[in-house]
């Protein structure tokens, strides 16, 4: 019998402390208007004493397990997606496993930048579909404030801390991930990175003096990569799922920048209300971004049982990941097959769906090319205006 991975529980954890744009005005040369216009961010959560990647992970997992009515001792595997563990060694996943009381669980940490949660969700589903495990916790969590240079206004305004988790359980009813795409383009590996602190350039007085232990980012390269890959990845996974585009009820993108999301939405030709955006409340929380948005979408009633949702992210590496998910957290009762559900009718409609998706993806590609040409033409004008303002 074929097995499927069903998300049955979810929970989030964010620090109590909130750092607003107005607070940042007192720390660096910036303003609320400047930050909101360029990023869409109004506030972010920052860890306080005693709050770490591990503590947020444990709290999020406890909420997910409580919702699913599953005990920690019943969990088989814990996957922690993060780039900001409590320590370089041991892995934070083992700390989470111990503090949670998941005595039977294996555990590992997955490092894939902002795409880590989707990578982890796909990995969990594979473990379940092969029959190896029954219950897997997937966590996306970050303490980015520990690696941000709070004197650099180009990066410190962007990031926040937080975490969220889901429990994936085995099911014999079709649900869960319908299609997915994972990718990496290492040619831009230094577009988002910590120059110092690794084995290539260990911690030293020089590393600290040059502030190389803080996160550095090439915003232009990431913007170009993100807008292109988000559009392509969403198009690819929707086509691979076999669903008509109209059957997608919600898109949950990585919350990196409101301008990136807005451009991708226009390229896809999707109504803004079908896209989950909460970057204004959290900032960019990297691997925690998508699961935090998922939890908020459920709290706001924007995702209901039986819906289809697209998760899509991009991040350091540079990496990207997308998945079409059938959202069915509870087991549904077996029902008699209705006429409209017969395989014969389904097979008849498949060619029509494929044609519709080809037309839609062609339109998306055309809009993307037009926007690329427009941006290329307008960039010199923007740069000229910027030089005039500086004079």
Query: Angle formed by the axes of helices 258-268 and 32-39, to 10°?
Result: 30
Q: Does domain 4-174 have CATH number 3.40.47.10?
A: yes
CATH code for the structural domain at 180-280+301-333+343-390:
3.40.47.10
| pLDDT tens-digit map of 27-47 | 999 999 999 999 999 999 999
Say what the pTM is: 0.87
Between strands 135-143 and 77-81, the pairing is parallel
| pLDDT tens-digit map of 350-365 | 666 666 666 656 766 6
Could you tell me the two tokens for 288?
């925690």
Catalytic annotation, residues: 114, 254, 284
Low-confidence ranges of the chain (pLDDT < 70): 332-361, 363-391
**Residue at token pair 């660096």:** 28
| pLDDT tens-digit map of 234-266 | 999 999 999 999 999 999 999 999 999 999 999
**Residue at token pair 């009820």:** 249
Are 4-174 and 180-280+301-333+343-390 equal in CATH topology?
Answer: yes
Q: Domain locations in the chain?
A: 4-174, 180-280+301-333+343-390
In degrees and rounded to multiples of 5, residue 87 shows phi and psi of -140, 155
Secondary structure E strands in the chain: 4-13, 17-20, 43-46, 77-81, 106-110, 135-143, 161-171, 176-184, 192-193, 216-217, 250-253, 308-315, 319-326
């Amino acid at each position: 019998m074929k097995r499927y991975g069903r998300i049955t529980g979810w929970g989030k954890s964010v620090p109590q402390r909130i750092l607003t744009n107005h607070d940042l005005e007192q720390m660096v040369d910036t303003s609320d208007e400047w930050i909101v216009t360029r990023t869409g961010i109004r506030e972010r959560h920052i860890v306080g004493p005693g709050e770490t990647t591990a503590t947020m992970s444990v709290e999020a997992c406890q909420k997910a397990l409580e919702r699913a009515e599953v005990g920690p001792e019943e969990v088989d595997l814990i996957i922690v997606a993060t780039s900001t563990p409590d320590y370089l060694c041991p892995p934070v996943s083992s700390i989470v496993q111990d503090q949670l009381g998941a005595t039977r669980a294996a555990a590992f940490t997955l490092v894939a930048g902002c795409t880590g949660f989707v990578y982890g969700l796909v990995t969990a589903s594979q473990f379940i579909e092969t029959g190896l495990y029954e219950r897997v916790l997937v966590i996306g969590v970050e303490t980015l404030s520990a690696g941000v240079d709070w004197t650099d206004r180009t990066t410190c305004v962007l990031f926040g801390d937080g975490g969220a988790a889901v429990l994936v359980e085995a099911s014999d009813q079709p649900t869960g991930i319908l299609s997915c795409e994972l990718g990496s383009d290492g040619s831009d590996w230094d577009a988002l990175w910590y120059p110092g602190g690794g084995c290539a350039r260990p911690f030293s007085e020089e590393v600290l003096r040059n502030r190389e232990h803080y996160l550095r980012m090439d915003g232009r390269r990431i913007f170009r990569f993100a807008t292109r890959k988000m559009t392509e990845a969403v198009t690819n996974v929707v086509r691979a799922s076999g669903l008509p585009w109209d059957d997608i009820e919600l898109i949950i993108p990585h919350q990196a920048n409101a301008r990136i999301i807005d451009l991708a939405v226009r390229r896809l030709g999707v109504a803004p209300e079908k896209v989950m955006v909460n970057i204004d409340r959290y900032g960019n929380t990297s691997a925690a971004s998508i699961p935090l948005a998922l939890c908020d979408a459920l709290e706001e009633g924007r995702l209901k049982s039986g819906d289809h949702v697209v998760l899509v992210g991009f991040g350091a590496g540079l990496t990207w990941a997308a998945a079409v998910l059938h959202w069915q957290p509870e087991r549904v009762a077996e029902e008699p097959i209705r006429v409209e559900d017969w395989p014969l009718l389904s097979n008849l409609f498949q060619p029509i769906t494929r044609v519709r998706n080809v037309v839609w993806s062609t339109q998306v590609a055309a809009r993307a090319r037009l926007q690329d040409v427009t941006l290329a033409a307008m960039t010199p004008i923007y740069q000229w205006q910027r030089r005039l303002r500086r004079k």
